[in-house]
Amino acid sequence: MQELIPPARLLLGPGPSNAPYRVLRAMSTPVIGHLDPKFMEIMDEVCQLLRQTFRTQNQMTFPVSGTGSAGMEAALVNLLEPGDVAVIGVNGVFGARMCDVAERCGARVVKVEAEWGRIIEPERIIEAVRQNPGARLCALVHGETSTGILQPLEEVGAFLKDGDTLFLADAVTSLGGAPLEVDAWGIDACYSGTQKCLCVPPGLAPISFSPKAMAAIAKRKSKVQSWYLDVTMLQKYWSAGEGQRLYHHTAPISMIYALREGLRIIQEEGLSHRWERHAAAAGHLYQGLREMGFELWSQEGYRLPPLTAAKPPQGWDVEGIRKQLLGDYDIEVGGGLGPAAGKIWRIGLMGENACVQKVAVLLRALQDFA
């Protein structure tokens, strides 16, 4: 068996994105123990960098050892108990996945659905909460990876801020690539993944719990159904003071190194500038695709800059050309999911790939099929 040498790809799909050299170099640095005092310092640095990226002061902000879906599960298993009511917006695959996980927690799910490719109007979410007094949770996908929709959160957060219902947001594809203000928008729990706009390989799920969320967790009547994701235990490892940390699990040390470097790169660039860069790259892509006859599939005014859902021109072999881009040009773009399967492409411009140069490479390759 030969040495592993994967092909060099330009990753313009829904994730993962290409990781910068600095991140890959950080992953190759020597491993130390997960209870080493120096590693504890690194953990604290990562948590502080995550607070800056989530735009929050939440003490319980840390990376879950697992991919973005583990972040989703961590949020829901901690916040929900059997019999709780959860109001969840569904306009794509990941809203539906939240419903599935919530039901596995024993919650009664109230779905507020919208057509794929369109936002869920905030007043519909608010009305659903009003009709379900005592709902434990209201959850929305901020950046719906399956449709390229950027769901507005501010109005719902303002409505929920002074009540008992907790506000949960999925920011897997938006964190670091689109404006997200956890504290200012009244978000009580927010999770993401490292492999999208943070430009770190998949393997960690940054998450943040507000004091309101942590207080609700402390009042649970039953144990969290997942031992591995129980934040009351993880808190003693990630958030305890010096000399008070308790072993929970062996953290993925090299991935923590990588996340620290990816977050350092974001802070060096400046978060607002990074949001603007993603929006500018998406604008160039929109223009180029339209000129080639593509139709932008997601709702105008609510498009997710890091991920564009586009319908190829009539007569194109949607899946065949996508495979040819990968095989002949080493460019990955994503296919559609669910009702959009075989109809659209999902083009990711995330992190380092959110730039005019990478857009130009893709558009030049597509001209060969026009």
Q: 8 and 330 in contact (C-beta within 8 Å)?
A: yes
Q: What is the pLDDT of residue 293?
A: 96
- pLDDT of 247 reads 85
What is the 8-class DSSP label of residue 2? P
Within 8 A by CB and 6+ apart from 36, the residues are none
Looking at residue 241, its pLDDT comes to 63
Average pLDDT for 197-206: 98
More confident residue, 241 or 275: 275
Q: What is the mean pLDDT of residues 105-121?
A: 98
Please tell me the distance from the alpha carbon of residue 171 to that of residue 110, in angstroms, as a whole number.
21
Contact indicator for 297, 340 with CB cutoff of 8 Å: yes
164 within 8 A of 173, measured Cβ to Cβ: no
Residue 243 has pLDDT above 70, yes or no: no
pLDDT of 286 higher than 80: yes
3-state SS assignment for residue 204: strand
Q: Hey, which bits of 79-203 come out as E strands?
A: 85-90, 108-113, 137-141, 143-144, 149-150, 166-170, 189-191
Output the CA torsion sign for 262, 329, 304, 124: negative
CA distance 193 to 204: 6
pLDDT tens profile 256-266: 999 999 999 99
Q: What is the pLDDT of residue 242?
A: 60
Q: What is the per-residue pLDDT for 71?
A: 98
Which domains are delineated in the chain?
A: 10-14+270-367 (3.90.1150.10), 21-267 (3.40.640.10)
Chain mean position to CA 128: 25
Judged against a pLDDT cut of 90, whether residue 246 lies above it is answered with: no
For 32-78, how does the pLDDT look when each residue is reduced to its tens digit (9 = 90+)? 999 899 999 999 999 999 999 999 999 999 999 999 999 999 999 99
Q: Which two tokens stand for residue 297?
A: 């599939």
Residue 128 has pLDDT above 90, yes or no: yes
For residue 279, pLDDT over 70 is answered with yes
What are the distances in angstroms from CA 322 to CA 9, 12, 133, 297, 336? 14, 11, 47, 17, 11
In this model, does residue 282 exceed pLDDT 80?
A: yes
Mean pLDDT of 224-239: 93
Residue 249 pLDDT exceeds 80: yes
- Give the integer Cα–Cα distance in Å for 271 and 274: 5
Listing DSSP states for 28-64 in one string gives TSPP--TT-HHHHHHHHHHHHHHHHHHT---SEEEEE
Looking at the predicted structure, is the pLDDT value of residue 29 above 80? yes
